[in-house]
Amino acid sequence: MKTRELQQLWWDWLSTSERLLRSLYEQTAALTLRDVARVERIQPELDQMMSRLRELDSEAVTLAHKLAGELGTEPSLRSLVSVLEKAEAQALQGLGNRVTVAARNVQEVLKKNRTLIENEMTYINGSMTLVAKAAVHAKGPFSAIKTDSVLVDQAA
């Protein structure tokens, strides 16, 4: 089997992407619940898995180029499949399709979480703007600094 190593890389990629998706869904829940501690706890794991996916992608591209050179074809899935034996070509095509679908799922969840984070930042920015406006408003309760004496309870 000429593509065994490439298929093994793709299986590793799929396994990592499944773990990444579980963590991304956990991040989605944490963002929705505004649980900052949970988001911060998940982030290193997400960074590690994204880094691993990038490494696997790079290795797979390098291997596909090498394999294409050996087979005398272009380094694309379609070209590789066209020169392989039927059974191996079907296995490679099926696995390639699974990787493509998994990549789209990861991209969609990443996009959704990015949107949630951006919306939260917009909300915080709006809230801070309102607080700042209230602080400088001439007739508001925060307009003047009061320097009156403050009584302190000795028991406190």
Q: What is the pLDDT of residue 138?
A: 56
31 vs 9: CA distance, rounded Å:
32
Report CA 84 to chain centroid distance, whole Å: 34
**DSSP assignment of 28-89, as one string?**
HHHHHTT-HHHHHHHHHHHHHHHHHHHHHHHHHHHHHHHHHHHHTS-SSHHHHHHHS-HHHH
Length of the chain: 156
85 contacts: CB under 8 Å, gap ≥ 6: none
CATH number, domain 4-111, options 3.30.1380, 1.20.58, 3.30.1310, 3.30.70? 1.20.58
Q: What is the pLDDT of residue 123?
A: 81
pTM: 0.77
Q: What is the pLDDT of residue 118?
A: 92
49 vs 19: CA distance, rounded Å:
8
Q: Which residues of the chain have pLDDT under 70?
A: 135, 137-156
Helical (H) or strand (E) element with 145: none
Which is nearest to 11 in space by CA: 48, 54, 42, 56? 56
